[in-house]
């Protein structure tokens, strides 16, 4: 069923209950692709859904109005989870205009057809629907260069595209319908930010500045994934905090191990970190999905990365994690490498190279032991954990 947000504005998206992999990101709660219908003199559809779910979306639209009566379509974002359904919807609806950013025009033309009735809109452009007005706001890289948001001025309702979204399938559509909001949904919101938006913190801070200059206030925020916020202040505050790069007194020990030697070092480092009263998490790279680990990276102040040397290099799971981390470009963190080796011992220096490339603060030159750590080396690792917490984490 469609769901009314405010009079004459409806959610008509689709729920993807069984999605578990979103381009490599573990989506254990599924997702939603939120599309919105505005009834006015010019009936307008904001975004579409994944290609496979178009029939579900069109059924929802048809509960309210014949889809062929839609006059305008707005494409806030070219990525296929929101635009994959566009060809079928465009063929059925035949709208007068398809609004998108200039980059959206270029992107949609490459993905689909270039003879659609594109109307490029830039930041500040307005379109009257009759009784209501759409105001467009380009938000490049949140999450693609084409991304933009659409603001329904009279109702102070922001259609925010990927920003403020979460991969979260549920029967609830609004934030005030979820009892453990800060817990499970809050975690999914943070996971989405960490895995999709972490590299763009500076752009998000600039977006808040632009919104301030334009005097925009939001009574409701309707993103393209997850819940619609009737009380948006909490999510705006979370984004301001994450975008600032603020970290907690929190350390992560992230490792893989061959015959438990690197694991012994991981546990000893963790003991030291805990002794120094750092919130500490230990993650084995083949037990915790990398998208869950980077969720914790977001507000951690210290990363300890451990790998044994195998065939003169690092463990494949550590290689995968570091590659993912390089793309997400975490900021404001200290980091160090550790690991065991048998004869050649390249793992620690290879991890260090990546950490240096990421411009993280090098908290230590690298802690490595030959074959199996003895009691003296384990004591050294525990003491090192304490020192690392004292010297690199906020109080
Ligand atoms: Fe939900 Fe960048 O797409």
The residues near 55 (Cβ < 8 Å, ≥ 6 apart) are none
What secondary structure letter does DSSP report for 154? G
pLDDT value at residue 66? 98
pLDDT value at residue 113? 75
| DSSP for 260-316, written as a single string | SHHHHHHHHHHHHHHHTT-EEEEEETTTS-HHHHHHHHTT-SEEEEE---BTTB--H
Cα separation, 296 vs 340, in Å, equals: 25
> Atom 1, ligand 1: which residue's CA is nearest?
162
162, 256, 299, 377: which one is catalytic?
162
Cβ contact 170:28 at 8 Å: no
Structure tokens at 342: 């048998």
Q: Please tell me the distance between residue 196's alpha carbon and the centre of ligand 1 in angstroms.
A: 8
Measured over the CA atoms of residue 282, residue 192, residue 247 and residue 144, the dihedral's sign is positive
pLDDT value at residue 159? 98
Give the mean pLDDT of the chain.
97
The answer to whether residue 162 is catalytic is yes
pLDDT value at residue 129? 98
pLDDT value at residue 275? 98
Cα separation, 59 vs 66, in Å, equals: 10
The answer to whether residue 16 is catalytic is no
pLDDT value at residue 182? 78
Cα separation, 146 vs 143, in Å, equals: 8
Question: Where is average pLDDT lowest: 150-154, 210-214, 378-382?
Answer: 210-214
Binning pLDDT at 50, 70 and 90, where does residue 179 land? Answer: confident
Residue 72 burial (CB count, 10 A)? 22
- Range 153-177 average pLDDT: 97
Cα separation, 337 vs 345, in Å, equals: 12
Cβ contact 355:335 at 8 Å: yes
Instruction: Give 236-278 pLDDT, tens digit per residue.
Output: 999 999 999 999 999 999 999 999 999 999 999 999 999 999 9
- Range 282-299 average pLDDT: 98
* Ligand 1 atom at shortest distance from the alpha carbon of 144: 2
For residue 105 and ligand 1, the question of a CB distance below 6 A is answered with: no
- Look-up of token digits 């977001």: 298
Q: Please tell me the distance between residue 203's alpha carbon and the centre of ligand 1 in angstroms.
A: 17
**Region at 156 (left for phi over 0; alpha for psi -120 to 50; beta for the rest):** left
For residue 79 and ligand 1, the question of a CB distance below 6 A is answered with: yes
- Percent of the chain scoring above 90 in pLDDT: 98
For residue 77 and ligand 1, the question of a CB distance below 6 A is answered with: yes
Instruction: Give 317-336 pLDDT, tens digit per residue.
Output: 999 999 999 999 999 999 99
Cβ contact 124:135 at 8 Å: yes
pLDDT value at residue 313? 98
The residues near 374 (Cβ < 8 Å, ≥ 6 apart) are none
pTM above 0.95? Answer: yes
The answer to whether residue 88 is catalytic is no
The answer to whether residue 77 is catalytic is yes
Instruction: Give 48-82 pLDDT, tens digit per residue.
Output: 999 999 999 999 999 999 999 999 999 999 999 99
What Å distances lie between residue 252 and 231, 267, 387, CA to CA? 32, 11, 15
């Amino acid at each position: 069923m469609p769901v009314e947000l405010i009079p004459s504005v409806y959610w008509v998206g689709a729920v993807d209950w069984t999605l578990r992999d979103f381009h490599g990101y573990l989506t254990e709660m599924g997702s939603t692709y939120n599309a919105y219908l505005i009834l006015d003199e010019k009936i307008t559809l904001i975004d579409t859904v994944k290609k496979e779910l178009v029939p579900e979306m069109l059924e929802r639209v048809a509960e309210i109005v014949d889809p062929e009566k839609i006059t305008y379509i707005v494409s806030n974002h070219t990525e296929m989870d929101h635009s994959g359904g566009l060809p079928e919807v465009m063929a059925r609806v035949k709208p007068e205009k398809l609004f998108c950013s200039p980059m959206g025009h270029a992107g949609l033309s490459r993905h689909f057809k270039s003879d659609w009735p594109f109307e490029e809109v830039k930041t500040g452009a307005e379109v009257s629907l009759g009784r209501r007005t759409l105001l467009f706001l380009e938000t490049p890289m949140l999450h693609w260069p084409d991304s933009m948001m659409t603001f329904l001025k009279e109702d102070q309702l922001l259609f925010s595209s990927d920003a403020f979204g979460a991969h979260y399938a549920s029967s609830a559509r609004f934030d005030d319908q979820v009892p453990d909001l800060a817990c499970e949904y809050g975690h999914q919101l943070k996971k989405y930010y960490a895995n999709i938006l972490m590299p763009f913190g500076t752009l998000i801070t600039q977006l808040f500045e632009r919104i301030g200059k334009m005097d925009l206030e939001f009574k409701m925020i309707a993103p393209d994934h997850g819940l619609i916020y009737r009380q948006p202040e909490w999510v705006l505050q979370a984004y301001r905090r994450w975008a600032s790069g603020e970290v907690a007194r929190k350390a992560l020990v992230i490792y893989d191990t061959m015959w438990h030697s690197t694991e012994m070092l991981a546990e000893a480092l963790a003991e030291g970190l805990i002794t120094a009263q750092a919130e500490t998490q230990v993650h084995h790279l083949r037990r915790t999905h990398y998208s869950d680990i980077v969720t914790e990276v977001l507000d951690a102040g210290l990363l300890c990365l451990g790998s044994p040397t195998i065939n003169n290099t690092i463990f494949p799971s550590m290689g995968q994690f570091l590659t993912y981390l390089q793309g997400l470009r975490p900021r404001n963190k200290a980091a160090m490498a550790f690991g065991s080796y048998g004869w050649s011992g390249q793992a620690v220096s290879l991890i260090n190279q990546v950490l240096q490339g990421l411009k993280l603060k090098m908290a230590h030159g690298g802690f490595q032991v030959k074959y199996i750590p003895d009691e003296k080396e384990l004591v050294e690792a525990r003491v090192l954990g304490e020192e690392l917490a004292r010297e690199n984490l906020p109080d």
